[in-house]
Structure 1
Amino acid sequence: MNQNPPVENDRPASAEGRRGRAGRAERGGAAARRAARSGGGPGQQLTYIRRALPLFEVLGEEGLALIEGNADTVLEEVGIEFRDDAEALALWKEAGAEVRGERVHFPRGLCRKLLETAPSSFIQHARNPQRSVEIGGNATVFAPVYGPPFVRDLDGVRRYAAIEDFRNFVKLTYMAPALHHSGGTVCEPVDVPVNKRHLDMVYAHMRYSDKPFMGSVTAPERAEDTVAMAKILFGEDFVDNNAVVINLINANSPMVFDETMLGAAKVYARAGQATIITPFILAGAMSPVTVAGTLTQVLAEVLAGAAFTQLVRPGAPVVFGTFASSISMQSGAPTFGTPEPALVSFGAAQLARRLGLPFRTGGALTASKIADAQAAYESANTLNATVLAGTNFVLHGAGWLEGGLVSCYEKFMMDIDQLGMQQRFCQGVDLSENGQAMDAIREVGPGSHYLGCTHTQANFQTAFYRSMIADNNSYEQWHAEGEKTARQRANQLARSWLEAYEAPPLDEATDEALQDFIARRKASMPDAFV
């Protein structure tokens, strides 16, 4: 395919690749045993995180008030453009904003007043009620990578993503214990026509997983298809009264919302479904080079976009989102894992809490081309900041590579291992009687050891997180087992999981109704690849 396909992403695609299919091999017995020992094997699901840790905050009252005041000044004096959407402009004019052409200027306090109807926390329902998640409060929900047009497959080939890759990542996400959410465009299947692939993608989330999922936003009619399919899956009355899908609405920073994002936002808000209003920021290009300047712009854009959803339908769930990165001032390339975007995430989380909105930011982000040390360091830096900030919805939690251009199978497995560690970390310190371990201290006494004491024997299986990927054995054992790298172990684990995958049950009549809807919608329009 010669065209660069449109993608549902925090970042547009810009490179070419070639298609293929992810290979599978025989199940890796050692990897499977390691997964079983670690508690991270397929099907051993974890509920979403209820954080027991204090929040890390970087701004005091004076700094927060300063940024909020500056954002109000931006909204009032500079304004935000709502492009090619007469209805949006009419809604703002009716609400009391000043509309000059396509630019909207907001009286101080208008957006905050409108946001009083937005919930501070809400439940996104999954078709399996045990998989439903809370978004907001002290909850954290991990979701996988979103949007890459390329994959790095299990044969080490970088190529355009296909629908089989999409289904594979949905299956791996379903099996991953610490991924609480199926996500959305886990990769962009370019072997399916642009105007029809959303049907296959949404169906894959519904059929191959029973976790909550995201909808299509690349055109209003595709958002409408998502809502229609959700009504088939959940029932029309249930969808009318509950959030069953969440959706990424990006601001076209700086200070623009375009007709595509506005159209999708209106569809979902009118249907009572959740939206994540996310300025996409590469600081130095799409926002000022400073942390405070970037936070000011982020807050202004979110205030305008989130308040707009309340004009469409008061009470519609909306999330304060930010995707913040910096750029190399030498090359212009995006950079990840650096200090400044972490500070933006911390500050934005504080601003979201003051607004009373759930918060979304990044996950395991990296500019590296393969799952190497750069990928590990950059992903750890962004993920740690994401968790410590108190993020409620974490997009790009697993599989992100090459600045968001690639979904990588190996890195996906490595990342979900780290997400399991973060989930354990978020439990905080156990101060129960068992956690205090006074019986163990009394039993062992001075000069002995704890290996054989009663408390250790009762707790050793769950006392410490055991990685699915890391090799902590001796050099001799590692050498005898083939000197495998972390990437090789991740590759073997991905293959074994895909081989072991079993689809969650789905009512046969519901499945037939979904497939019939998809067939009729596809038949109603010719294929389009642009």
Structure 2
Amino acid sequence: MGRSRLPCPRARHRPMPMCPDSAIDRVSTPYDLLTSAQVERLRADADRILDEIGLEVREHPDALERFAAAGARIDGTRVRFEPGLARALVQHSAPPRFTQRARNPVNDVVFGGHGTVTAPAAGPPMVRGRDGIRRYARLEDFRDFARLTQASDAIDHAGAMYCEPTDCDAAVRHLRSLEAALRLTDKPVMGYGRDSDQVTDSIDAMRAVFGEATMANECCLLTMANIEAPLVLTGTTAEALMRTSAAGQAVLVASYPVLGMTAPVTVGTALAQMLAEVQAGAALTQLVRPGAPVMVGMSGAVFSMRAMRPEFGGVEGLFLMSAGAQLARDLGCPVRGDGAVTSSKLPDAQASGDATRGLACAHAANVDFALHSAGWLEAGLVMSLERFAHDVDSIAAVRAQGLNAPTPEPGRGWEALMAEWREPPMDSSTAQTLADFIGERTRRRLREAAT
């Protein structure tokens, strides 16, 4: 029988311990959407995909050499696996649970432990900020979402990719964003992995805050490696995955296709492709550093022929997340899912309904990390302050339902949350080390961009 789950993973929300193992007790068992026969069929289909089609690894000879040394068949840039090989590489050494450190130890989170970790939406280029007008994001908008993240007790993980501050030079945008997230919150953060420089800078920023010794022995950073194209691991993604794993930090290997575009239109076939992709990606983390923390994510959207764009918040996406979580749990790794995703353009009733269904589905499926749990609008194009506050209320309601507790009263809106924010303390030596690092690395990246 599957394990049940408490609704919140952080220490200050834990129940009073009743026995030494109470930290891993759950309130409810996961809802398994697939039968055991369907799981076996999809596992066999994923093995067949990796055996007959394989994974294309572009512009990364080191990754190809590591796969070859593990027994995979290499044909140019194509890597093929004997049935069960990729899954065995993951199950042999990947930890079933791991803790990510926060600046404030009270905010440390456990993936694969006793709850679903929530994090804000990540990546929108546009915002609906204090004025409510849809526009391109600026650094001050990023800081506002960091403040809301810190002030909200319903958000467990800072994420750190709330929006794209377009008033910052692209070469140093990730540095300014990381600095804001690390100073304005004391919750765990995600790093940037769009190129090798961003990965290196993210790891080095964590070293500036946590110190070399802590980074060498504990997980302080989570980097996302998205396999976006069907059955293709780009050199950039492979490098992000490998550098992060080599440093002993956590990698989120995610397959997030759009059915009808980057995956087959049928849900079952898409699930088989997604499982093949995350198995191969997670296997590479263990070939780089056995025992490196890794999480897998299997979520997606469908392509609307009417709107000619991906659609979020529909039943197909919920099905993919639930079934994907069930398949990913079989690997023995923590599982990532979606939270409050929607295609609604405004923080309206449609957005609220999509958010509540998504968060409830993530909780029922026992995902360990619900990314995009607050603020998401317009299929991920927009981050909204008002939507963020509404989603915080939805998270609180879903958690109360999981505990069979009364549903809490709705919150007071983003203005009240912002007023409650207080900058978390950082000791002067750490603050100076971080400021020196950001300053030096910013100058270097700007020089490199100019040449």
TM-score if structure 2 supplies the norm length?
Answer: 0.92
Amino acid of the structure 2 residue aligned with 1:111: A
1:85 Cα offset (Å): 0.8
**Conserved? CA contact 1:47–1:131, under 8 Å:** no
**Conserved? CA contact 1:51–1:426, under 8 Å:** no
Q: Which residue of the other structure, out of 441, 444, 447, is the alignment partner of 1:524?
A: 444
Structure 2 match to 1:80: 55
User: Is there any run of 5+ residues in structure 2 with no aligned partner, and where?
Assistant: 1-10, 16-22
Superposition map of 1:214-253 within 5 A? 214-253=190-229
Q: 2:276, 2:127 → 1: CA distance? A: 35
1:201 Cα offset (Å): 1.3
The question of 1:107 aligning with 2:82 is answered: yes
**Conserved? CA contact 1:326–1:334, under 8 Å:** yes
3-state SS of 1:514 partner = helix
Instruction: Say what the alpha-carbon RMSD is for the aligned residues.
Output: 1.8
**Conserved? CA contact 2:194–2:237, under 8 Å:** yes
3-state SS of 1:130 partner = helix
Structure 2 match to 1:310: 286
Deviations 1:30-65 (A, max 9, x none): xxxxxxxxxxxxxx9746997411211111111000
Structure 1 match to 2:409: 467
Larger radius of gyration: 1
What is the aligned residue count? 430
Structure 2 match to 1:272: 248
Change (3 A) 1:285 1:47: farther
Q: 1:385, 1:280 → 2: CA distance? A: 17
Superposition map of 1:18-417 within 5 A? 46=13, 51-115=26-90, 116-417=92-393
Deviations 1:167-191 (A, max 9, x none): 1101100111110110121111111
The question of 1:513 aligning with 2:433 is answered: yes
Deviations 1:405-446 (A, max 9, x none): 11001000000111111122222x4xxxxxxxxxxxxxxxxx
Q: 1:363, 1:80 → 2: CA distance? A: 29
Deviations 1:108-143 (A, max 9, x none): 121122112000111111111111010014421000
1:496 Cα offset (Å): 3.1
Q: 1:229, 1:171 → 2: CA distance? A: 20
TM-score if structure 1 supplies the norm length?
Answer: 0.78
Change (3 A) 1:330 1:500: closer
Change (3 A) 1:45 1:138: closer
Structure 1 match to 2:5: none
Q: 1:47, 1:125 → 2: CA distance? A: 17
Q: 2:387, 2:445 → 1: CA distance? A: 37
Q: 1:173, 1:47 → 2: CA distance? A: 20
Deviations 1:500-521 (A, max 9, x none): 4211110111101111011111
Deviations 1:330-378 (A, max 9, x none): 3432112222221211111111111111100111011111111221222
3-state SS of 1:214 partner = coil
3-state SS of 1:525 partner = helix
Q: 1:378, 1:129 → 2: CA distance? A: 33
1:324 Cα offset (Å): 1.0
3-state SS of 1:148 partner = coil
3-state SS of 2:116 partner = strand
User: Is there any run of 5+ residues in structure 1 with no aligned partner, and where?
Assistant: 1-43, 430-462, 470-488
Amino acid of the structure 2 residue aligned with 1:299: L
**Conserved? CA contact 2:298–2:325, under 8 Å:** no
Structure 2 match to 1:497: 417
Amino acid of the structure 2 residue aligned with 1:422: V
Q: 1:374, 1:55 → 2: CA distance? A: 26
Amino acid of the structure 2 residue aligned with 1:507: D
Amino acid of the structure 2 residue aligned with 1:468: P
3-state SS of 2:251 partner = strand
3-state SS of 2:69 partner = helix
**Conserved? CA contact 2:313–2:341, under 8 Å:** yes
